[in-house]
Amino acid sequence: MSENPHATDEESGLSRKQFIAAVGVGALAVPAVVGAATAGAAASGAPAVDEPLACTPGRTTIAQTEGPYFKPNSPERDDLTAGVSGTRLVVTGHVFNRACQPLSRVLLDFWQADTMGAYDNVRYTLRGHLYTDANGVYRLTTIVPGLYPGRTRHIHVKLQAPGRPQILTTQLYFPGEPRNNTDTIYDPSLLMNVRTVGSGREATFDFVLDVAGTSSPTPTPTPTVTPTGGGGTWRAGTAYSVGDQVTYGGAGYRCLQAHTALAGWEPPNVPALWRRL
Ligand SMILES: [Fe+2]
């Protein structure tokens, strides 16, 4: 049951094609910025201790070996516990782009061993895919995977942002596992935050995909006209004389009739008083 630690991240052409096909047409990235991630991973600078990292802009979740047990075409479901026994585990978190902005409709395909450390390679027990919601949040209900020779406790996952061919294949780990220190594939940047709740576990992990962030639209510069005299910005209550120049809404105006400005008499509204320069 041990996985080949020398396996590469390369997937077969068939599995990759089918994985992409499962995505379909998704929504675009949600442009809202979320604050610090509850738990996360970074591509480099992984800590030597069992502590997950917060989402750091530009630092993406590292890829890991797929291992020998991935099966394409998993069912879409967010609960893998049907028909299996074990300690209930709920894994939640965000999927972010490089700017730590949440990504909606990201496909996450999970697979893992059962409580005895065995994979179901015939059917789809403990296999399933789901999507992030409009806030970039995913939620998986499963069980704590068992151990098998050569590996520490882990969950496999593939992620794919909508409309993008790139797939991130990686694994999630549990803190405090003795085998974390001897598993050559294990990486501390992929540790989940795990806590015990009742008889089960709750874990969080935020992924950061190598997807460019979206920035706010650049405001169109408004032309400004420097008044030549009597000027400044138009203000209600000001007494203006013929020839005075003001700016309003980024445009310049010349006073045509002496008057004391009132609210509602803004230059664009009263062509009898103001002529645009
Ligand atoms: Fe595995």
Instruction: Specify the CATH number for the domain of residue 245.
Output: 2.10.10.20
What CATH number is associated with residue 182? Answer: 2.60.130.10
232 pLDDT band (50/70/90 cuts)? confident
Q: Are residues 255 and 174 part of one domain? A: no
Q: Are residues 158 and 30 part of one domain? A: yes
Q: Are residues 259 and 205 part of one domain? A: no
Position 28 scores a pLDDT of 32
Dist. CA 125–CA 145, nearest whole Å:
12
Residue 53 lies in a domain: yes
Residue 16 lies in a domain: yes
Measure 205 CA to ligand 1 centroid, in angstroms.
18
Measure 89 CA to ligand 1 centroid, in angstroms.
17
Position 230 scores a pLDDT of 56
Q: Are residues 96 and 18 part of one domain? A: yes
Measure 38 CA to ligand 1 centroid, in angstroms.
25
Measure 113 CA to ligand 1 centroid, in angstroms.
7
Pick the residue with more confidence: 6 or 122? Answer: 122
Q: Are residues 113 and 57 part of one domain? A: yes
Mean pLDDT, rounded, of the chain: 79
Measure 107 CA to ligand 1 centroid, in angstroms.
19
Q: Which domain holds residue 236?
A: 223-277
Confidence check: pLDDT of 117 > 80: yes
What does pTM read for this prediction? 0.63
pLDDT tens by residue, 156-180: 999 999 999 999 999 999 999 999 9
Residues with CB under 5 A from ligand 1 (ion): 67
> Which of 213, 231, 265 finishes a domain?
213
Number of domains in the chain: 2
> Which of 213, 237, 253 finishes a domain?
213
Measure 150 CA to ligand 1 centroid, in angstroms.
10
Measure 156 CA to ligand 1 centroid, in angstroms.
6
